[in-house]
Amino acid sequence: MPEYNKMELMICLAARYLEDGSTVVVGTGAPCAAAMLAQRIYAPDLMVLFEAGGFGPLLPSMPISVGDSRTFYRGLVAGSMPDIMEHCQRGMVDYTFLGGAQIDMYGNINSTLIGSDYQRPQVRFPGSGGANDLASLCWRTMMITPQDRRRFTPKLDFITTPGYLTGKGAREAAGLPPGTGPYKVITDLCVIGFDEETKRMKVESVHPGVTREQIQANTGFELLWADDLGTSEPPTEEELRMLRQEVDPYRYVIGRG
């Protein structure tokens, strides 16, 4: 079995969820690496979109921002942010990847601040950008993140981006499109989905060498567990070769694993 680090595992697992012919809005970093890997192995007709307006580029190398010229390379359209958001609003985007400082059991995300005082927070983050729009309008939201109790918290200091809000039916009651919402959270310990009835986080597979106790200890709330709990499939030699030689040869992303 080839050796790999945690970041490589998370990227490979994320890439496998992107079906051929689907559409995905990504930012830079691990989500972009997952989309590039998927295009090269599993989903040659994957439509990748970037918030700054790139539609369907064939990424030659890792871009450093969503407005990098590479996000338009051999693309279908050199559009704008309103074009991307309109595409999402029309229900034409299957997936989006988001990040944040905190996430709760319903997949709500905080990327705004840490602390109880909005005017004088302990830490202030960049905020939503397009994250709220993307999570509200794309069909399925995914997240790639390390797992620890500070990040996986029972109560967010600020809700930047809606997940399932307070549980089943809450998104729809708030006016968000039915059928949208969090899909997978891929961490360095496990893959988490969401329970159909409660909309709470449910662990679906455990990474090799990781225990249930370790996963729960790194989570600030009680997790649900799938009845058919599996073991995450490690990266293949082909995935690692492509990831290391073509997707991220300078190790901008996988070097952080």
E strands, the chain, are: 23-26, 47-50, 54-55, 77-78, 95-98, 102-103, 109-110, 113-114, 123-124, 140-145, 181-187, 190-194, 201-206, 224-231
- CA distances from residue 192 to 105, 110, 120, 179 in whole angstroms, order as listed: 10, 18, 33, 18
According to DSSP, the residues that pair with 24 across neighbouring strands are 48, 95
What is the spatial distance between Cα 9 and Cα 253, in angstroms, rounded to a whole number? 12
Is 51 labeled as catalytic in the residue annotation?
yes
Contacts of 251 (CB under 8 A, 6+ apart): 244
d(CA 201, CA 193) in angstroms, rounded, equals 6
Q: Which of 3, 8, 51, 197 is catalytic?
A: 51
> What is the distance between the alpha carbons of residues 136 and 180, in angstroms, rounded to a whole number?
7
Q: For residue 84, what are the contacts with CB-CB under 8 A and spacing of at least 6?
A: 25, 49, 50, 51, 52, 53, 55, 130
13 CB-near residues (< 8 Å, 6+ apart) = 186, 191, 232, 233
Residue 231: strand pairing partners = 206
Q: Which residues pair with 185 in a beta bridge?
A: 143, 192
Query: Annotated catalytic sites, by residue?
Result: 51
